[in-house]
Amino acid sequence: MRIDSHQHFWKFDPVRDSWINDDMKVLQQDFLPSDLHSLLKENQIDGCVAVQADQSEEETYFLLELAEANDWIKGVVGWIDLRAENLEERLSLFFKFKKLKGFRHIVQAEAEDDFLLRDDFCSGISKLSKYNFTYDLLLVPKHLQYAIEIVKRFPEQSFVIDHLAKPDFKQADFSHWEKGIREIANYPNVYCKVSGLVTEADWANWTASDFTHCLDVVTEAFGMDRLMFGSDWPVSLLAASYEECCGIVTNYYSKFQKEELEKFWGGNAIEFYNL
């Protein structure tokens, strides 16, 4: 089974979704399962994992409703306030939803670079493994040093890095990113999504070769047992079609063995998220 481990749905709200500015007009509309399903079929993708884009429990319920109505949405990564005093109660409630696989926080939007290491946030992370919930790390390179500390602190917690931790493809300055990625990959509880490549590149002028070095690094660091494909649709539409996003990684990994490709295109996501 081939799985897109990272995509989003939303009903566009210009206030709530203010991060979608006028440079991103293509995203200023609704994106729902009916818009994605045909793209998955055209690219031989059997299912997907819907990931939160808004930091609210309403978002989590919205995605769960979509997953309930569409069996090819195999899992949901929602949002919950990991700093809440009633977190245990909320986790217990959400545990009843079989398609809810984990949570994510938009760390890159926080003012504190070391937000991940806040005592209240770490307390929340410490409670996830009890319910077999995963955690998606949405980071930029400056956060990797703190992410390394948190994955080391919680070895029983399953983590996955979204979008390769967003290397700077525009400037092609990868030294700080590469050091952090290689170090965090030493921890076996951490996976990495090969997703969001074109989104971090020059939207109008990227070429597949822009991504080669970083794909080399994550593939060597994580191995084919801990990498998974993600499209980042519809955000990826800023720079590429769904087919083009698939094509970049299809071409890069074309020389790998069939067993390795099966893990990358689905097996690892199924194992990580318990799909």
Instruction: Name 231's Cβ contacts closer than 8 Å, sequence gap at least 6.
Output: 4, 6, 7, 195, 242, 245, 246
Q: Which domains does the chain have, with CATH numbers?
A: 3-273 (3.20.20.140)
40-53 pLDDT, tens digit per residue, is 999 999 999 999 99
Instruction: Name 259's Cβ contacts closer than 8 Å, sequence gap at least 6.
Output: none
218-237 pLDDT, tens digit per residue, is 999 999 999 999 999 999 99
**Cα dist from 115 to 83, 121, 144, 205, whole Å:** 11, 8, 12, 34
pLDDT at 46: 98
User: Rounded to two decimals, what is the model's pTM?
Assistant: 0.96
Neighbouring CB atoms inside 10 A of 142's CB total: 15
Q: Which residues of 50-82 are buried (b: 16+ CB within 10 A; e: fewer)?
A: bbbbbbebebbebbbebbeebebbbbbbbbbbb
Distance CA 267, CA 263 (A): 4
Distance CA 136, CA 49 (A): 12
User: Is residue 171 pLDDT above 90, yes or no?
Assistant: no
